[in-house]
């Protein structure tokens, strides 16, 4: 159990670390969100495939030969995972890693209301309390405590809500996949499919950019990175995605989904602290209170789900 708790905590913390790495790239290089997403997803997808070939070969063979599973994997990877990844990176570009990760935590409220609609029931007391805290947290983060003005770019807030909805979709959609197959092959194949899709999309967008700018269509141009940029980009793939997903899923397989959700609350804390200490991002008292309230939201909603179970 201790091993599971540590792995889940470290995995969720590494997700937050990857957000700070993305913020570093935006601050120092001309790089777009789609390129980072493509590298992140395809790179980690290939690593997952290598591991799965050694540990889950029979499951991979069966999954790829099942038509229904293939269709669900494509939707999960090319839509669910891809949208969750790229919208998160877009929000970081407009704000910072800490703010983006805290706004992303709104997904638990969206999941809560979607579950209530599906199950045709009213929200419970703890869920309503969590919703209220999440709304207060969002207002504090968006206004920095001054209700007369919006302190973050409007597009940052809009994309943050879109990101939360995307994460809610990728959490809820693969439930039937997880019921039939182990979580690691599902996530690994979904990441690979999403990576291939994002590379195709990036290539098409690069060619269209060349065409509209009057240049001769050519292969997609890579951003100009120095050694630190390549190191940070590799860290996003190896540490912030591959290791993060692997450790977190392994930890959850030991401690269970409820405790895993609670431990996952460390992600916005990690992103905020790393962004402040490493990148020097300035956070106001409103940001820190908003962070605390959003973490409290995760606890309340998760505890309500646990008590209902």
pLDDT tens string 118-142: 888 888 888 889 899 999 999 999 9
pLDDT at 61: 93
Average pLDDT of the chain, as a whole number: 89
Q: Work out the number of other CB atoms within 10 angstroms of the CB of residue 221.
A: 11
Residue 309 predicted with pLDDT over 60: no
* pLDDT at residue 241, rounded to an integer: 94
Q: Indicate whether 146 pLDDT > 90.
A: no
Contact assessment for residue 263 and residue 44, using Cβ atoms and an 8 Å cutoff: no
Residues in the chain: 309
Predicted confidence band of residue 297 (pLDDT cuts 50, 70, 90):
confident
CA 160 to CA 294: how far, in whole Å?
Answer: 14
Which helix (H) or strand (E) segment holds residue 285: the answer is helix 285-308
Beta-carbon count within 10 A of 148 CB: 5
At residue 258, the pLDDT reads 67
Whether residue 80 contacts residue 169, with contact meaning beta carbons closer than 8 Å, is answered with yes
- Mean pLDDT confidence for 273-290: 91
Alpha-carbon gap, residue 242 to 188, rounded angstroms:
9
Q: Determine the pLDDT at residue 264.
A: 82
List pLDDT tens digits, range 22-77.
999 999 999 989 999 999 999 999 999 999 999 999 999 999 999 999 999 999 99
218 CB-near residues (< 8 Å, 6+ apart): 207, 210
- Residue 248 region, left (φ>0) first, then alpha (ψ -120 to 50), else beta? alpha
Which residue matches tokens 């999440």? 134
For residue 173, what are the CA distances in angstroms to 34, 77, 94, 179, 200?
23, 11, 28, 12, 23
- pLDDT over 70 for what percent of the chain? 93
pLDDT tens for each residue of 69-89: 999 999 999 999 999 999 999
Neighbours of 70 (CB within 10 A): 14
Q: What is the pLDDT of residue 221?
A: 65
Per the model's pLDDT, the better-predicted residue between 149 and 135 turns out to be 135
Instruction: Output the pLDDT for position 22.
Output: 96
Residues 15-20 have a mean pLDDT of 94
- Chain centroid to Cα 68, Å, comes to 25
pLDDT digit string, tens, across residues 185-243: 999 999 999 999 999 998 888 777 667 665 555 555 678 899 999 999 999 999 999 99
Q: Are 191 and 68 in contact (CB under 8 A)?
A: no
Residue 303: pLDDT above 90?
no
Closest C-alpha among 300, 262, 298, 293 to residue 133 = 293
- Token pair for 231: 């190191």
**Confidence (pTM):** 0.90
Least confident of 107-111, 144-148, 179-183, 207-211: 207-211
């Amino acid at each position: 159990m201790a091993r599971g708790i540590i792995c889940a905590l470290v995995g969720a913390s590494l997700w937050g670390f990857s957000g700070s790495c993305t913020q570093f790239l935006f601050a120092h290089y001309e790089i777009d969100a789609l390129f980072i997403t493509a590298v992140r997803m395809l790179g980690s997808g290939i690593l997952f495939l290598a591991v799965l070939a050694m540990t889950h070969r029979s499951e991979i063979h069966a999954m790829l030969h099942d038509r229904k599973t293939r269709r669900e994997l494509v939707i999960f990877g090319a839509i669910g995972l891809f949208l969750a990844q790229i919208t998160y990176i877009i929000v970081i570009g407009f704000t910072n890693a800490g703010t983006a990760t805290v706004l992303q935590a709104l997904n638990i409220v969206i999941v809560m209301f979607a579950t209530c609609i599906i199950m045709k029931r009213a929200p419970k007391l703890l869920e309503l309390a969590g919703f209220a805290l999440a709304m207060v947290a969002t207002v504090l983060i968006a206004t920095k405590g001054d209700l007369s003005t919006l302190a973050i770019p409007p597009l940052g807030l809009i994309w943050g809500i879109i990101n939360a909805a995307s994460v809610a979709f990728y959490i809820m959609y693969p439930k039937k996949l997880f019921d039939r197959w182990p979580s690691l092959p599902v996530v690994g194949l979904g990441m690979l499919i999403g990576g291939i899709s994002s590379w195709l999309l990036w290539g098409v967008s690069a060619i269209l950019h060349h065409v509209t700018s009057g240049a001769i269509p050519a292969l997609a141009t890579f951003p100009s990175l120095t050694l630190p940029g390549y190191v940070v980009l590799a860290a996003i793939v190896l540490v912030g995605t591959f290791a993060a997903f692997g450790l977190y899923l392994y930890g959850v397989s030991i401690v269970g989904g409820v405790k895993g959700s609670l431990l996952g609350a460390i992600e916005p804390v990690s992103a905020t602290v790393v962004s402040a200490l490493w990148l020097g991002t300035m956070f106001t008292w409103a940001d820190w209170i908003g962070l605390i309230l959003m973490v409290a939201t995760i606890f309340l909603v998760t505890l309500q789900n646990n008590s209902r179970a």
